[in-house]
Chain A
């Protein structure tokens, strides 16, 4: 069978564009035109949730406010994701260009990059580049300044509204929605927040045109995306791939010949077992991912995998809402109790119902997505959980 997986080289191509030049050209265009092109490209957010980027920009542009903010989400906390670090390291100026173009479109004067605390070792270098870029923007006559904020070290601070709280100097607890960030965001002002990679693609689309982007991917999942590939693979690392491949295609390329499951989308994503590789598309029509792909071979205990994830969520829940704070603990203690025989196997059914309640009743994406790994692993690897 032909392998449909296609490697792409849009993002890391340092020589194919001069980022400040891209901004200069954008400043000559009408903001609506720029936004419409992003809408037309079909670009969806690369941070995980996959909201259409152009629409988000359009909403923010429509808001009447003297002050608006552009925020780049570089918190990269999802287990198994490490592509934003690479992007920041290699093509930071393209990220900055994306932010600047967007600032121009909505009339924002200030931008923030919220950098994962563990990436502080990059801070000096990044700051120097940002400072230089800010100067160049000033020379272009664009009044927009970017600064980097170091993260608080909690996974939940990657959730957009918790991230705002954190920048504001408060405890990183997610807010109620609505209002959404484009209406009430950072410091109560209309704000657009995008993932690092999303900003790069917006700059690319500006540079190369929507058509080039649309050539890649599928109806629902346009373009390419950067993947962080880890686990039982001889080729761990970062790859830019066209969207729309099946897990089968993916495993052919990256598996070690003994892959029994792929966790698509990190700890908060879904586990795909071997029997479903063929029919599962990686993308918004199938299983979306913020980039993390973890491969597991037959030597792995899926009980341990699930337990690790649940321990992570139990610790990383911000703790404010009941379904997540207590739900995570119960799922974790629950599978442990089943494993030890203290609760019957049928208790897993109760726990799945609980996970469903968490999915619809938790306050933010963290608690809502715990059901993804839980249900997909319990359903597909029940024997490993029980025995």
Chain B
């Protein structure tokens, strides 16, 4: 943005802002909120809903505040009669095209259209109802996402999200005029297209047109079934997001209250995905060292850089768009699926429960995990390893339905077994976290010493830069790792699939060389996942990241290989990392999918 200042008046109050500032932002500076629908801080400006129109004194046309930059001497009225009339009309028009039966809508109470309708006291029946007579599609084909065109206001936020943030373009605008709609490639069902189920579009949809497919009722049924033993695992990012749906400001750590609430909901055992995150580090770290050994010592052809595999949206993205790089993916399942496979084997054995009576539920910041749980590969226990995946938002709703006064709850610890975790497991929830956790452990395995970063905080891989890289020089190796002596381990981290796409293009083209790459499908990592509370923006994601790192620092153990339950499971059950049993339960394979 330029340093050149522009002077204007908004509602007769003078203000100076840098050249290039939009009317919307200039008004914000004066504490005037102009309503918006198609505008989203994370996305490019569309200027299509027109709800933000304001009057420029002397101009014939109203101006879209989100799209028009200020100019010298401009006089803007944000609430004149003309503006109010046009704005009301626009909201009324949107409602006339909309199946606005809010009481039946999942987004009731968290819907930008509903808020505006309320604020402007619109007459919903001023215009002719266009919605009822139309044949809208409600696409429930995906296990993750429901796309309900009857609630769509064509703001195209989803289209821009999928293109600009995710580089997938599964959603696009089709047709024109009254037939215009948001659609997929040749209008194929969501389940059959390139969609990664990341849910980023859901996070930015202002209405109920894109929502997660909920499994709340199924989970209530399981909880109420006396013959079922219901275990629940909670992903790292849930504990720093859940508070937002239950009255807290972003960045609140509610781990202990969440565990208490889950117990009150009736889960038989409240366990932690962080435990399998730690286990992932053992498996994946060993896999990386094995690949490096093959490459450096045995001179065998082996796929490098190795890439993380804990983000199922990212996995499906690779399967569609870079099938040439599938061998580079770590064979490790995501922590959710490792947990699921162990819940119905190891856990069942130790607790003496017949796995067929175990219902395995996971609480995830993610919608792609719903798809992942349904993948045919994810039945290593002989059953579907994870039965139901709920988002952070769905858990919030269950807690509300149960009438639990969340803010007043005391803290509780996780149950055992598979409830123990370390700070390394927690930071899986932030972009760069898997890399950091892996480095903390791998470096120590190889050298016998802690990573040479202050307080174990590997800051070069932290932050929200789209693609980050770091180099760690390995020195003073233990004898069995001497082949790594002096190696500069080159790593890269990407978050948001559009960034991943750039990085993968570079890897495919051979213009970069790394040993290890971490990719998280969602902007910010899981903390910005498609199942996290709505709204989302950079500020909210930053607060959540701070909370994740604070949680890490507050933990007595901060390295995955120090997790006592991880030691125990290797001793009692798995043997060692990459053992035969590990392979059967904790590792998987991928398949190429079509590009559209």
By a beta-carbon cutoff of 8 Å, the part of chain A in contact with chain B is 154, 156, 171, 173, 176, 178, 313-323, 325-330, 333-334, 337, 343, 350, 353-354, 356-357, 360-363, 368
Say whether A363 contacts B48, CB under 8 Å.
yes
Which A-B residue pairs are the 5 nearest by beta carbons? A319-B180, A326-B93, A176-B67, A357-B89, A176-B47
Give every chain A residue within 8 A of B90 (Cβ-Cβ). Answer: 322-323, 357, 361
Say whether A319 contacts B68, CB under 8 Å.
no
Give every chain A residue within 8 A of B50 (Cβ-Cβ). Answer: 321-323, 361-363
The 8 A CB mask of B101-141 against A (1 = contact, 0 = none) is 00000000000000000000000001110100000000000
Q: Which one, B67, B86, B153, B178, contacts A329 given CB within 8 A? A: B178
Say whether B177 contacts A354, CB under 8 Å.
no
Give every chain B residue within 8 A of A333 (Cβ-Cβ). Answer: 128, 130
A319-B154, A320-B154, A330-B128 are known contacts. Are A360 and B176 too (CB-CB below 8 A)? Answer: no
A154 to chain B, nearest CB (A): 6
B569 to chain A, nearest CB (A): 53
Cα of A201 to Cα of B45 in the assembled complex, Å: 38
B275 to chain A, nearest CB (A): 48
Give every chain B residue within 8 A of A317 (Cβ-Cβ). Answer: 176-178, 180
Give every chain B residue within 8 A of A173 (Cβ-Cβ). Answer: 173
Say whether B64 contacts A360, CB under 8 Å.
no
Say whether A319 contacts B60, CB under 8 Å.
no
B53 contacts partner chain A, Cβ-Cβ < 8 Å = yes
Within 8 A of A (CB), among B14-46: 45-46
Q: Given known contacts A326-B96, A326-B97, A363-B47, what 12 new A-B pairs fall within 8 Å (CB)?
A: A176-B64, A319-B173, A319-B176, A320-B173, A322-B49, A323-B93, A329-B178, A333-B128, A353-B85, A357-B86, A362-B50, A363-B64
B299 contacts partner chain A, Cβ-Cβ < 8 Å = no
A176-B64, A326-B94, A363-B47 are known contacts. Are A314 and B177 too (CB-CB below 8 A)? Answer: yes
Say whether B154 contacts A325, CB under 8 Å.
yes
Cα of A362 to Cα of B51 in the assembled complex, Å: 10
The 8 A CB mask of B173-193 against A (1 = contact, 0 = none) is 101111110000000000000
* Chain A residues touching B, majority SS: helix
Give every chain B residue within 8 A of A354 (Cβ-Cβ). Answer: 89, 93, 127
Q: Which one, B46, B68, B126, B180, contacts A325 given CB within 8 A? A: B180
Q: Which one, A156, A178, A334, contacts B128 given CB within 8 A? A: A334
Number of cross-chain contacts by CB at 8 Å: 116
Give every chain A residue within 8 A of B62 (Cβ-Cβ). Answer: 360-361
B304 to chain A, nearest CB (A): 37
Give every chain A residue within 8 A of B51 (Cβ-Cβ). Answer: 322
A102 to chain B, nearest CB (A): 28
* Chain B residues touching A, majority SS: loop
Say whether A178 contacts B68, CB under 8 Å.
yes
Cα of A352 to Cα of B61 in the assembled complex, Å: 17
B69 contacts partner chain A, Cβ-Cβ < 8 Å = yes
By a beta-carbon cutoff of 8 Å, the part of chain B in contact with chain A is 45-51, 53, 60-62, 64, 67-69, 82, 85-86, 89-90, 93-94, 96-97, 126-128, 130, 153-154, 156, 173, 175-180
Give every chain A residue within 8 A of B178 (Cβ-Cβ). Answer: 314-315, 317, 319, 325, 328-329
Give every chain B residue within 8 A of A360 (Cβ-Cβ). Answer: 53, 60-62, 82, 86
Q: Which one, A154, A156, A171, A321, contacts B48 given CB within 8 A? A: A321
Say whether A171 contacts B93, CB under 8 Å.
no
Cα of A154 to Cα of B173 in the assembled complex, Å: 15
Say whether A318 contacts B82, CB under 8 Å.
no
Cα of A154 to Cα of B93 in the assembled complex, Å: 24
Give every chain B residue within 8 A of A176 (Cβ-Cβ). Answer: 45, 47, 64, 67-68
Say whether B128 contacts A320, CB under 8 Å.
no
Give every chain B residue within 8 A of A356 (Cβ-Cβ). Answer: 85
Query: Can you list 19 A-B contacts (CB < 8 A)?
Result: A317-B180, A318-B180, A319-B176, A319-B177, A321-B50, A322-B153, A325-B97, A325-B154, A326-B94, A330-B128, A333-B130, A357-B86, A357-B90, A360-B61, A361-B61, A361-B86, A363-B48, A363-B64, A368-B61
A300 to chain B, nearest CB (A): 25
From A156, A318, A343, name the one whose CB has the most chain B CB atoms within 10 angstroms: A318
B145 to chain A, nearest CB (A): 23
Say whether A330 contacts B127, CB under 8 Å.
yes
Say whether A357 contacts B97, CB under 8 Å.
no
Say whether B177 contacts A326, CB under 8 Å.
no
Q: Which one, A319, A322, A353, A362, contacts B175 given CB within 8 A? A: A319
A320-B48, A360-B61 are known contacts. Are A325 and B177 too (CB-CB below 8 A)? Answer: yes
Cα of A334 to Cα of B126 in the assembled complex, Å: 11
Give every chain B residue within 8 A of A328 (Cβ-Cβ). Answer: 177-178
A178-B69, A320-B156, A363-B48 are known contacts. Are A327 and B93 too (CB-CB below 8 A)? Answer: yes
Give every chain A residue within 8 A of B177 (Cβ-Cβ). Answer: 313-319, 325, 328
Q: Which one, A154, A178, A321, contacts B176 given CB within 8 A? A: A154
Give every chain B residue within 8 A of A337 (Cβ-Cβ). Answer: 128
Cα of A268 to Cα of B47 in the assembled complex, Å: 23
A278 to chain B, nearest CB (A): 27
Give every chain A residue within 8 A of B60 (Cβ-Cβ). Answer: 360
Say whether A326 contacts B176, CB under 8 Å.
no
Cα of A322 to Cα of B47 in the assembled complex, Å: 10
